[in-house]
Amino acid sequence: MGSSSREGPESRVRIAGLGCASPDYCIDQEEALEHLVKHYGAELTDHSLELLEQFLAHPSIQRRHFAIRDPEELFTEDPDARMERFAASATELGARASRLALEKAGATPSDVVALVVNTCTGYLCPGISNYLIEELGLRKDIPAYDLVGSGCGGAVPNLEMCRPLATKNPDGVVLSISVEICSATFQMSDDPALLLSNALFGDGAAAAVLRRGRGELELGPSLRLHEPRYRDDIRYVYRNGQLHNQLTISLPAKSSRVVNKLVEQFLDENRLRAADIQHWALHPGGEKIINRLGEKIGLSEKQLQPVRDVLREYGNLSSVSVWFVLRRIMETGTTPEDRFMMLSFGAGLSAHAILLGRKSE
Average pLDDT over residues 27-53: 95
Q: Is the pLDDT reported for residue 242 higher than 80?
A: no
Assign 19 a pLDDT band (cuts: 50, 70, 90): very high
Comparing 246 with 192, which gets the higher pLDDT? 192
The DSSP code sequence of 47-71 is HHHHHHHHHHH-TT--EEEES-SST
The domains of the chain, with CATH numbers, are: 10-212 (3.40.47.10), 217-357 (3.40.47.10)
Provide the 10 A C-beta neighbour count for residue 80: 8
Q: Is residue 280 a contact partner of residue 303, using CB atoms and an 8 Å limit?
A: yes
The residue ranking higher by pLDDT, 196 or 5, is 196
pLDDT of 22 over the 70 cut: yes
Higher-confidence position of 232 and 60: 60
Rg (CA), the chain: 20
- pLDDT single digits (tens) 268-283: 999 999 999 999 999 9
pLDDT given at position 6: 46
Q: Is the pLDDT of residue 218 over 90?
A: yes
Gap between the Cα atoms of 347 and 184, Å rounded: 17
Least confident of 31-40, 154-163, 318-327, 328-337: 328-337
Note the pLDDT tens digit of each residue in 180-194: 999 999 999 999 998
What is residue 9's predicted lDDT score, i.e. its pLDDT?
55
Please state, rounded to an integer, the average pLDDT across all residues of the chain.
92
pLDDT at 234 over 90: no
Summarised one tens digit per residue, pLDDT across range 72-93 is: 999 999 999 999 999 999 999 9
Mean pLDDT of 243-252: 77
**Can you give the pLDDT at residue 5?**
38
pLDDT at 255 (0 to 100): 87
Three-state secondary-structure class, residue 350: strand
End-to-end CA distance of the chain: 4
pLDDT value of residue 332: 87
46-55 burial code (b ≥16 CB/10 A, e <16)? eebbebbeeb
Q: Which pairs with CB-CB distance under 8 Å and at least 24 residues apart come from 78-85? A: 79/241, 79/242, 82/184, 83/122, 83/124, 83/184, 85/181, 85/184
Cα separation, 104 vs 232, in Å, equals 40
